[in-house]
Amino acid sequence: MKTFKGKSIYNPSGKAGEYSYWACNFYVGCSNGCTYCYCKKGVLAKQMGQDQPQLKKCFKDENHALEVFEKELQSNLPELKKHGLFFTFTSDPFLKETEYLTTKAMSICANNKVPVKILTKRADFFNTSDWGIHLLDKTHGFSKYTSIAFGFTLTGRDNLESNASTNAKRIEAMMKLHDAGFKTFASIEPVIDFESSLQMICATYGFCDLYKVGLMSGKKYDKDEANFFVRNLIYDFTADCEFGNYPINKEQKFYFKDSLLKQAGISRSELPANCVNRDYDIFNN
Query: Vertex 103, ends 27 and 6: CA angle to 5°?
Result: 45
pLDDT mean across residues, the chain? 88
Do 64 and 203 have their domain in common? no
Q: By residue range, what is the domain housing residue 231?
A: 121-285
Q: Please state the domain count of the chain.
A: 2
Neighbours of 240 (CB within 10 A): 13
Tell me which of 285 and 183 has the higher pLDDT: 183
Read off the pLDDT of residues 213-249 as tens digits, 9 standing for 90 and up.
999 988 899 999 999 999 988 876 655 565 444 444 5
Integer CA distances (angstroms), 60 to 52, 71, 97, 99, 106, in order: 18, 15, 16, 18, 20
Do 104 and 127 belong to one domain? Answer: no
Do 56 and 148 share a structural domain? no
The amino acid sitting at 231 is R
Q: Residues 146, 245: one domain?
A: yes
- What pLDDT score does 192 carry? 96
Instruction: Look at residue 230 and tell me if it is in a domain.
Output: yes
- For residue 122, give the nearest of 140, 87, 142, 96 by alpha carbon: 96
The contacts of residue 25 (CB under 8 Å, 6+ apart) are 8, 10, 56, 88, 89, 90, 91
Q: Are residues 26 and 91 in the same domain?
A: yes
Instruction: Determine the 3-state secondary structure of 197 from DSSP.
Output: helix
Are 272 and 166 in a shared domain?
Answer: yes
Residues paired with 128 in a beta bridge:
none
What confidence score (pLDDT) does residue 170 get? 97
Same-domain status, 268 and 137: yes
Residue 81 belongs to some domain of the structure = yes
Contact criterion met (CB below 8 Å) for 119 and 87: yes
Confidence (pLDDT) at 46: 59
Q: Which of 61, 82, 117 is the last residue of a domain?
A: 117
The H-assigned helical ranges of 91-147 are: 99-111, 125-128, 130-133
Average pLDDT of span 38-56: 73
Q: CA 135: distance to chain centroid?
A: 18
Pair (152, 61) in one structural domain: no
Amino acid at position 3, single letter: T
Mapped onto helix, strand or coil, the DSSP state of residue 58 is coil
The reply to whether 144 falls in a domain is yes
Report angle CA 1, 152, 121 to the nearest 5 degrees: 110
> For the purposes of burial, counting CB atoms within 10 Å of the CB of 81, is it exposed (0-12), middle (13-18) or buried (19 or more)?
middle
On whether both 173 and 264 belong to a single domain, the answer is yes
pLDDT digits (tens, 9 = 90+) for 96-137: 999 999 999 998 998 899 999 999 999 998 777 666 766 776
% pLDDT > 90, the chain: 67
What pLDDT score was predicted for residue 127?
A: 74
Provide the greatest CA pair distance for the chain: 54
- Distant-in-sequence, close-in-space partners of 224: CB < 8 Å, separation ≥ 6: none
Number of Cα atoms under 13 Å in the Cβ half of residue 267: 2
pLDDT band at 39 (very low <50, low <70, confident <90, very high): confident
Q: Could you tell me if 281 and 210 lie in one domain?
A: yes
